[in-house]
Chain A
Amino acid sequence: MSQEPLPKLDLRLTQENLDDLYEHAPCGYCSCLPDGTLVKLNQTLLDWLGYTREELVANWCLQQLLTTGARMHYEMHCAPLLLLHGQVREMSYLLRRKDGSTLPVLLNATLLRDADKPLVVRVTLFDITERRKYEQELLRAKTQAEDQSVQLARANEQLVSQNEQLTRINADLDSFVYTASHDLKQPLHNMVGLFRELKRTATFHDPEAEQLVGMFDGALQQILDTIAGLTEVVQLQRMLEQVPVEAVPMLSFTEEIVRSLRERLPEDGATFDLDFSAVPTLRLTRPGLHSILFNLLSNALKYAAPGRPPHVQVRTAPADHNHVLLSVQDNGLGIDLERHGRDLFQLFRRFHPEVPGSGMGLYLVNRLVHQAGGRVEVASTVGEGTTFQILLPR
């Protein structure tokens, strides 16, 4: 292996003048008595400060070259540290020049002792003008970040308290609805009984009376249905708060609902197409999922197009990384979304007055899906059918 020849050194470089190295080093040097009195400074430092050697040596002390704030810090932190520990490192201070301007420096100092007695302090100072600018920038950013984090915490607190308030109001509302529907039930049942008694005992002579009696019966039934629906919403809500979320096997769960629906609506020859192979289970509460499926499937049967046996497809599919999709598609009447889209999930809204219903179903579905952290999307064509797509967290 051949060795590279060393570059030829100019002899003058190997014998560098130590005095010149001290005087014109790329950093400031000074030596002080233990009390800080300056005894020696290099030319670099004098040039930085704008003082002559005569002005400073034996007349000034190191601390007087610092700004007042830096001097206070030096007296309370560096001076004791030097006496106790013999050195200080990387203190960031501002030097005060003769013309009043300041120079940011990093100060290192060592205390030399003579037979245990403090003798002299050697100090090196590095110009950190540029670095200081970055540091100021960092400090500003840090202060800003701290302020923002305080503001965020405050905003968060507010949100939490508002959330608590809303939750309380919601609970109060539920409780109000429950009480109101409960209190209405008794007089209503009385009305039903009284009316039945009236029909039995009274004789109406008006030819339109029979029709009016029928309309009154219908109206009574509607109020009873509505109140039953309200009670169901509140009871379901209370139940949901007590049962756990679990992975519900979709196929058996849905088949059970289909079976119960066929018992209630046996006549229509409906067909169901269930496919949960892509996502076999959904994480929900059982009563919540039951209510969602029951309402969507019974709607599909109730709002079937005349002369066309209902055909309902129920599927699950992965949606994205965090969500799964549950879709229910029918071939029924369809809904005019242009007209009713905005009201679709409102309580007591009905879009097919010719078919009996309480206007609760979709309201309940939407509410349950929202509570589970999901959302409901609808696509529909009048005369062809409706598809509900429910996006649920995995």
Chain B
Amino acid sequence: MDVLKRNNVSVSGTGSQALVFVHGFGCDQRMWRLVAPAFEDRYRVVLLDLVGAGQSDLTAYDPARYSTLDGHADDVLAVLAALDLHHVAVVGHSVSAMIAVLAALREPTRIDRLVLVGPSPRYINDAGYTGGFEQADIEELLEAMDQNYLGWSGAITPVIMGHPERPELAAELNASFCRTDPAIARHFARVTFLSDNRADVAALAKRRLPVLIVQCAHDAIAPVAVGEYLHRQLPASELVVLDTTGHCPHLSVPQATIDAIDQFLAAARTAEV
């Protein structure tokens, strides 16, 4: 299996260190369009689509394999291995912040530092923990997704799921921007929003890996309280709150996001010297 093709990996830029961008739920690697190019003069910039998103190989979406975020973390590590990259920095947005955490725990030598953009280790409120959502909210999200995929889901999905030999069907889906197979999107949403990675964060804390948390000041998906929680849990972390609204600082305030990442990476480099 060609993992570079499976995850639609693109590599650009030059530099001794690699910077790997992993997109979050709802879109694909094109989300990094305003940020990633700024690093190409100093880093090898690696972009990928999670399996099930963008131009990835939709037929590789095995619901059992991706029933937890570990499947995606394995994929990220497989891409790093295929490119023979070590000591990389992974920038993960939203759900991929946790995918990056899982990958870093699994192969310590591959990943040196993490940039977590709008991270949340758990979206649903729990005793003594504020994630921002109740179980019912997640059900409502899935319903909203169902409503929005109504027009084209039924006709296409079973066809693609049952016909890996017909890649043109998947291509047809991919042609629409930031849309993917609705059954996959629904499954991924469920896995994402029902996951609880607080124990993984605690495990990462012991590793004292340099971590940058990029937090939006007004984010309905990952509220400031969640960013602060992570900052407390990770002693080696740095928290940067960007004055913006929404869940995608790399789109709403791309320059501030670039600056935050840049400073973090530069400081880490200086510390090493």
Q: Flag if A142 contacts B154 (CB, 8 Å).
A: yes
Q: With A76-B247, A79-B247, A84-B31 as given contacts, are A69 and B148 in contact (CB-CB < 8 Å)? A: no
Whether, in the assembled complex, A73 has its beta carbon less than 8 Å from a beta carbon of chain B, the answer is yes
Q: In chain A between 125 and 141, which residues have their CB closer than 8 angstroms to a CB of chain B?
A: 132, 135, 138-139
Q: In chain A between 57 and 94, which residues have their CB closer than 8 angstroms to a CB of chain B?
A: 61, 63, 67-73, 75-77, 79-81, 83-85, 91-94
Q: With A75-B221, A75-B246, A138-B150 as given contacts, are A70 and B144 in contact (CB-CB < 8 Å)? A: yes
* Closest chain A residue to B23, Cβ basis: A80
B178 CB contact (under 8 Å) in A72, A77, A139:
A77
Cα A181 to Cα B143 with chains together (Å): 67
Q: With A63-B220, A83-B248 as given contacts, are A76 and B94 in contact (CB-CB < 8 Å)? A: yes
Determine the chain A residues whose CB is within 8 A of the CB of B26 once the complex forms. 73, 76-77, 80
Q: How far is the CB of A109 from chain B (nearest CB, A)?
A: 14
Q: How far is the CB of B246 from chain A (nearest CB, A)?
A: 5
Whether, in the assembled complex, B202 has its beta carbon less than 8 Å from a beta carbon of chain A, the answer is no
Q: With A75-B246, A79-B246 as given contacts, are A68 and B251 in contact (CB-CB < 8 Å)? A: no
Q: In chain B between 128 and 168, which residues have their CB closer than 8 angstroms to a CB of chain A?
A: 133, 137-148, 150, 153-154
Determine the chain B residues whose CB is within 8 A of the CB of A37 once the complex forms. 245
Cα A142 to Cα B158 with chains together (Å): 12
Whether, in the assembled complex, B11 has its beta carbon less than 8 Å from a beta carbon of chain A, the answer is no
Determine the chain B residues whose CB is within 8 A of the CB of A36 once the complex forms. 245-246
Whether, in the assembled complex, A361 has its beta carbon less than 8 Å from a beta carbon of chain B, the answer is no
Number of interface residues of B (CB under 8 A): 37
Determine the chain A residues whose CB is within 8 A of the CB of B140 once the complex forms. 67-70, 72
Q: With A71-B220, A76-B94, A84-B33 as given contacts, are A35 and B144 in contact (CB-CB < 8 Å)? A: no
Cα A77 to Cα B26 with chains together (Å): 5
Q: How far is the CB of B184 from chain A (nearest CB, A)?
A: 14
Cα A94 to Cα B139 with chains together (Å): 14
Q: With A35-B245, A35-B246, A36-B246 as given contacts, are A81 and B178 in contact (CB-CB < 8 Å)? A: yes
Whether, in the assembled complex, A34 has its beta carbon less than 8 Å from a beta carbon of chain B, the answer is yes
* Closest chain B residue to A34, Cβ basis: B252
Q: How far is the CB of A231 from chain B (nearest CB, A)?
A: 48
Q: With A69-B139, A71-B220 as given contacts, are A83 and B247 in contact (CB-CB < 8 Å)? A: no
Q: Flag if A92 contacts B221 (CB, 8 Å).
A: no
Determine the chain A residues whose CB is within 8 A of the CB of B30 once the complex forms. 84
Q: Flag if B24 contacts A76 (CB, 8 Å).
A: yes
Q: Flag if A79 contacts B139 (CB, 8 Å).
A: no
Cα A73 to Cα B247 with chains together (Å): 11
Q: Flag if B244 contacts A72 (CB, 8 Å).
A: no
A76 CB contact (under 8 Å) in B154, B221, B245:
B221
Cα A346 to Cα B220 with chains together (Å): 77
Cα A75 to Cα B146 with chains together (Å): 16
Q: With A36-B245, A77-B27, A80-B26 as given contacts, are A69 and B142 in contact (CB-CB < 8 Å)? A: yes
Whether, in the assembled complex, B87 has its beta carbon less than 8 Å from a beta carbon of chain A, the answer is no
Q: Flag if A68 contacts B150 (CB, 8 Å).
A: no
Q: Flag if A83 contacts B137 (CB, 8 Å).
A: no
Q: How far is the CB of B83 from chain A (nearest CB, A)?
A: 26
Q: With A77-B27, A84-B31, A139-B150 as given contacts, are A35 and B252 in contact (CB-CB < 8 Å)? A: yes
Q: Flag if B248 contacts A72 (CB, 8 Å).
A: no
Cα A138 to Cα B151 with chains together (Å): 10
Q: How far is the CB of A68 from chain B (nearest CB, A)?
A: 4
Whether, in the assembled complex, B66 has its beta carbon less than 8 Å from a beta carbon of chain A, the answer is no
B220 CB contact (under 8 Å) in A72, A80, A93, A142:
A72
Q: How far is the CB of A143 from chain B (nearest CB, A)?
A: 9
The A interface, classified by DSSP as helix, strand, loop or mixed, is helix
Q: Flag if B245 contacts A69 (CB, 8 Å).
A: no
Whether, in the assembled complex, B218 has its beta carbon less than 8 Å from a beta carbon of chain A, the answer is yes
Cα A84 to Cα B254 with chains together (Å): 12
Determine the chain A residues whose CB is within 8 A of the CB of B246 once the complex forms. 35-36, 75, 79
Taken residue by residue from 240 to 272, chain A's Cβ proximity to chain B (1 for < 8 Å, 0 otherwise) reads as: 000000000000000000000000000000000
Q: How far is the CB of B149 from chain A (nearest CB, A)?
A: 9
Q: In chain B between 57 and 83, which residues have their CB closer than 8 angstroms to a CB of chain A?
A: none
Q: How far is the CB of A83 from chain B (nearest CB, A)?
A: 4
Q: Flag if B177 contacts A85 (CB, 8 Å).
A: yes
Q: Flag if B27 contacts A139 (CB, 8 Å).
A: no
Determine the chain A residues whose CB is within 8 A of the CB of B154 once the complex forms. 142
Q: How far is the CB of B96 from chain A (nearest CB, A)?
A: 12
Q: In chain B between 1 and 30, which residues have their CB closer than 8 angstroms to a CB of chain A?
A: 24-27, 30
Q: Flag if A72 contacts B221 (CB, 8 Å).
A: yes
Cα A83 to Cα B250 with chains together (Å): 10
Taken residue by residue from 235 to 258, chain B's Cβ proximity to chain A (1 for < 8 Å, 0 otherwise) reads as: 000000000111110011000000
Cα A202 to Cα B3 with chains together (Å): 92
Chain B residues with a Cβ under 8 A of chain A: 24-27, 30-31, 33, 94, 133, 137-148, 150, 153-154, 177-178, 218-221, 244-248, 251-252
Pick the 5 closest A-B CB pairs, nearest first.
A69-B140, A35-B245, A76-B26, A69-B141, A83-B251
* Subset of 15 A-B contacts with CB under 8 Å: A35-B218, A69-B137, A69-B141, A71-B220, A76-B24, A77-B178, A79-B246, A80-B26, A84-B27, A84-B177, A84-B251, A85-B178, A93-B147, A94-B144, A142-B153
Extra 8 A-B pairs, beta carbons < 8 Å, given A72-B141, A73-B141, A83-B251: A37-B245, A69-B138, A79-B246, A80-B31, A80-B248, A84-B33, A84-B251, A93-B147
